[in-house]
Amino acid sequence: MGSVLRMLAGGMVSGMVVACQAPKGGGSLADAPVMRSGEVSGVHHGIASVYTDRRTASGERFSAGALTAAHKTLPLGSKAKVTHLGTGRSVVVRINDRGPYVKGRVIDLTPAAASKIGLTKSQGIAKVRVESVEG
């Protein structure tokens, strides 16, 4: 029984391996972004979606009119430039939530942020580039 538990635990650990990038200028690793295997630090390509929620992971109330977004790995409070690859339009958003939790999607935008890049709620999704922004 003990060897089975060790084998299961070993498999679970190997399946959960992630790498971290230390924050610039020092700081705690707790504040560092979590990077998954194959993910390039600073630039992400994938699908953006428009979302509406009531409460964010940062604890603040969701505001459809704010230029904010949900991202799985960028630190809460950080900023990201989101560029719609179809329109070429960009917006800088503050990350205040976690998600999206749909395969292939890299960021969820508020309706206001989505509107700035030409993504409407009726379209639902768009191909985007997401870049970390300093300050």
Query: Read out DSSP for 71-130?
Result: -SSSPTT-EEEEEETTT--EEEEEEEE----STTEEEEE-HHHHHHTT--TTT-EEEEEE
pTM of the model: 0.66
What's at 66, amino acid-wise? A
What is the token pair recorded at 120? 């409407």
When pLDDT is cut at 50, 70 and 90, the band that residue 134 belongs to is: confident
Contact 99, 46 (CB under 8 A): no
Strand 105-109 relative to strand 43-50: parallel, antiparallel, unpaired?
Answer: parallel
Q: Which residues pair with 80 in a beta bridge?
A: 93, 132
Higher pLDDT, 23 or 105: 105
Nearest to 117 by CA among 133, 61, 125: 125
Residue 100 predicted with pLDDT over 60:
yes
Q: Which residues pair with 126 in a beta bridge?
A: 48
Contact 107, 71 (CB under 8 A): yes
The mean pLDDT value for 76-93 works out to: 96
The pLDDT of residue 127: 94
Computed over every residue of the chain, the mean pLDDT equals 74
The pLDDT of residue 4: 36
The lowest-confidence range among 54-63, 75-84, 85-94 is 54-63
- Domain layout of the chain by residue ranges: 40-133
Residue 59 predicted with pLDDT over 70:
yes
**Chain center to CA of 83:** 14
Nearest to 108 by CA among 54, 65, 53: 53
Q: pLDDT tens across 108-127, in order?
A: 999 999 999 999 878 889 99
Q: pLDDT tens across 1-28, in order?
A: 444 333 333 333 222 222 223 333 333 3
Class of CATH domain 40-133: mainly beta
The pLDDT of residue 105: 93
